[in-house]
């Protein structure tokens, strides 16, 4: 087992007690600390008390479903979330990504594959946390983006923006006039090889344009047809 994962804390939120027990036994044997919750309310409360390094979150939960739990986690934290679904539908994946999920697994899942995804997500999270924040604030005409404070100031006023939208905007704005494909953006911003419909990038770009519309004529989010997107400055 890799040292980077030693002692990491995982919160499992699933209403299936057998799955919780299985995940607990497997990951404790791998050297992780595990706590489990069996409904959405308990999951949110335990997340705040336990402060895990990663959350394994089922979608179909009593009291609060996984979507709502993910929303509440993202209101105050960037802790990695891997969502678990029995459906495996593209809609679930797109919605989960929009809410800030870091990865997806479909029931029934292979334990070794899940463990590999957990390690990969934790590795990326650790790597990102160790990156220097020298250029944490990007400034353009009527626009400031602070990645460390998770803030966007537009025309002198702070605006609310979901974390993944902010990450996408920051990444593009960090690479002015450089074109990225949808797959590259999924890899760089969402941080894993997304197996499914890449339209979630289009959705995020559309929402960013709506938020930023009319702020300046010196920069814009441009579509490069048949290729992808770029943050263009003139």
Is the model more confident about 86 or about 182?
Answer: 182
pLDDT given for residue 132 in this prediction: 46
- Kindly report the number of other CB atoms within 10 A of residue 158's CB atom: 12
- pLDDT(176) > 70: yes
Is the model more confident about 89 or about 104?
Answer: 104
Name all domains of the chain by residue range, CATH numbers in brackets: 3-130 (3.40.50.2300), 137-233 (1.10.10.10)
pLDDT given for residue 92 in this prediction: 64
- Kindly report the number of other CB atoms within 10 A of residue 24's CB atom: 16
Q: What angle do helix axes 163-174 and 199-212 make, rounded to 10 degrees?
A: 80
pLDDT given for residue 80 in this prediction: 87
pLDDT above 90 coverage of the chain, percent: 40
* CA separation for the pair 47, 42 (Å, rounded): 8
pLDDT above 70 coverage of the chain, percent: 84
Q: pLDDT class for 123, splitting at 50, 70, 90? A: confident
Q: Where are the alpha helices (DSSP H) in the chain?
A: 17-29, 40-50, 66-74, 90-99, 111-130, 163-174, 182-185, 199-212
Average pLDDT over residues 206-220: 92
- pLDDT(192) > 60: no
Per the confidence metrics, is the pTM higher than 0.85?
no
């Amino acid at each position: 087992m890799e040292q980077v994962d030693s002692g990491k804390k995982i919160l499992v939120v699933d209403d299936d007690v057998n799955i919780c027990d299985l995940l607990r036994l497997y990951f404790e044997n791998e050297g992780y600390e595990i706590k489990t919750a069996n409904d959405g309310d308990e999951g949110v409360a335990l997340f705040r008390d336990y402060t895990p390094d990663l959350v394994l979150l089922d979608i179909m939960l009593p009291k609060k479903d996984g979507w709502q739990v993910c929303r509440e986690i993202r209101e105050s934290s960037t802790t990695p979330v891997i969502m678990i679904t029995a459906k495996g539908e593209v809609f679930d994946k797109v919605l989960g990504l929009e809410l800030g999920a870091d990865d997806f697994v479909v029931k029934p899942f292979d334990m070794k594959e899940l463990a590999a995804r957990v390690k990969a997500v934790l590795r990326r999270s650790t790597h990102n946390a160790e990156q220097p924040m020298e250029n944490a604030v990007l400034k353009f005409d009527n626009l400031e983006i602070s990645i460390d404070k998770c803030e966007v100031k537009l025309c002198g006023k702070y605006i609310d923006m979901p974390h993944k939208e902010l990450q996408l905007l920051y990444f593009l704005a960090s690479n002015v006039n450089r074109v990225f494909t949808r797959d590259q953006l999924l890899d760089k911003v969402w941080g894993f090889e997304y197996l499914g419909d890449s339209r979630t990038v289009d959705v995020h770009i559309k929402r960013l344009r709506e938020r930023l519309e009319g702020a300046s004529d010196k920069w814009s989010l441009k579509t490069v047809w048949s290729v992808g997107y770029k943050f263009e400055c003139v």
